[in-house]
Amino acid sequence: MSTKKIKSVLIIGIAGGLAKITATLLTKMHPNIKIIGIDSRRLDFQPSSPNITLIQAKYTRSNFENIFREHEFDSVIHLGRTSHASSNPLGSLAKRLDLNVIGTQRILDLCLKYEVKRVLILSTFHVYGAFADNPIFLKEDAQLRADFKHPEIRDVVEMDQVSSNWMWKNQDLIKTVILRPCNIVGPSIKNAITAYLTSSLSPIPLDFNPMFQFLHEFDMANLIAGGINKMKTGIYNVAPDDYISIRDAKKLVGKGGIPMSVFLLENAAQFIKRAWLDGPNYLIDYIKYPCLLDNNALKTIYPDFKFRFDSKDSLGFLKD
């Protein structure tokens, strides 16, 4: 495993909470590092270090080409996937396909053109899909079935597949790591599962009680910052060893909910979307069926990494 110092990094999606934490950790691990953070969203915050430079720009090939041309990156961290947690996911699918799939392909091609040494891409466990026939723990070679039932998540699956194909095609030229984390939670993370857990109006299934894994934002950022230099090319699930049922998770967060039969959930999408603060429809399946990750590949390739927080600890940060 490479232990060379990282000198220059491009972080895509720097406006996100996870990206900010990752950038801060990188400056601590590599004091002389130069980080360029880009995001199409508004950047209304000050960098945590003078070694971090922020750029607000649209995710176009010309903008990225200029950035790659002006800076000699040895590493690229792609955390800029456009969220599919939209109030109108089908209406924005074409836009997200362009940004997530085609945009990612452009970035990867530029990494190859400008001889970047390392690339890390953040995917998600959602690509597997929640199904009644899922194995107890899903391994990285499991079929990506999320879009079989829910076409609105097609862009996420295709982005993962495009990245995976490119990774193996160019494995002799550039080290690429794809991470598929479980539910990430924490003070800086605003996502659909956080909205579900912290809403007193969210449904609690009466006749299903699947297990969940929760990952604290610090552990995820720490893995990215340290792992990009230590993990070899491959795809890795990211999840702690423990898990907790969805009902117990709701109790632990202390927000309550509305007990409801699972048979009503399928026909209550619009209510649930309002209760989840515009949560995507496919998340209904995740409170019905299991989608637990096998983390053995990560522990094998990166044995020095230790999670600071387990699932219950991570959920504790969602309490008032």
Which CATH homologous superfamily contains domain 8-189+213-243+292-316?
Answer: NAD(P)-binding Rossmann-like Domain (3.40.50.720)
**∠160-157-195 over CA atoms, to 5°?**
105
- Please answer whether residues 210 and 286 qualify as being in contact, where contact means their C-beta atoms are separated by less than 8 angstroms: yes
- Chain mean pLDDT for the chain: 88
What is the number of other CB atoms lying within 10 angstroms of the CB of residue 94? Answer: 10
Amino acid (1-letter code) at residue 216: H
- Please answer whether residues 254 and 202 qualify as being in contact, where contact means their C-beta atoms are separated by less than 8 angstroms: no
Strand, coil or helix: 166: helix
What is the arithmetic mean of pLDDT over 19-24?
97
- Report the pLDDT value the prediction gives residue 80, as an integer from 0 to 100: 82
**Predicted confidence band at 192 (pLDDT cuts at 50, 70, 90)?**
confident
- Please answer whether residues 98 and 141 qualify as being in contact, where contact means their C-beta atoms are separated by less than 8 angstroms: no
- Report the pLDDT value the prediction gives residue 155, as an integer from 0 to 100: 86
pLDDT, tens digit (0-9, with 9 covering 90-100), for 52-75: 999 999 888 899 999 999 999 999
Please provide the distance, in angstroms rounded to a whole number, between the alpha carbons at the two ends of the chain: 42
How many whole angstroms separate alpha carbon 109 and alpha carbon 105? Answer: 6
What is the number of other CB atoms lying within 10 angstroms of the CB of residue 207? Answer: 9
- Please answer whether residues 124 and 181 qualify as being in contact, where contact means their C-beta atoms are separated by less than 8 angstroms: yes
What is the arithmetic mean of pLDDT over 193-204?
88
Of residues 274 and 135, more confidently modeled? 135
Which of 150-154, 167-171, 217-221, 273-277 has the weakest average pLDDT?
A: 273-277
- Please answer whether residues 213 and 293 qualify as being in contact, where contact means their C-beta atoms are separated by less than 8 angstroms: yes
Q: Return the closest-CA partner of residue 294 out of 189, 180, 194.
A: 180
**Predicted confidence band at 100 (pLDDT cuts at 50, 70, 90)?**
confident
- Report the pLDDT value the prediction gives residue 93, as an integer from 0 to 100: 55
Q: Sort strands 258-260 and 244-245 into parallel, antiparallel or unpaired.
A: unpaired
What is the arithmetic mean of pLDDT over 36-42?
93
How many whole angstroms separate alpha carbon 297 and alpha carbon 302? Answer: 8
- Report the pLDDT value the prediction gives residue 2, as an integer from 0 to 100: 47
In terms of phi and psi (left: phi > 0; alpha: psi -120 to 50; beta: otherwise), the region of 149 is: alpha
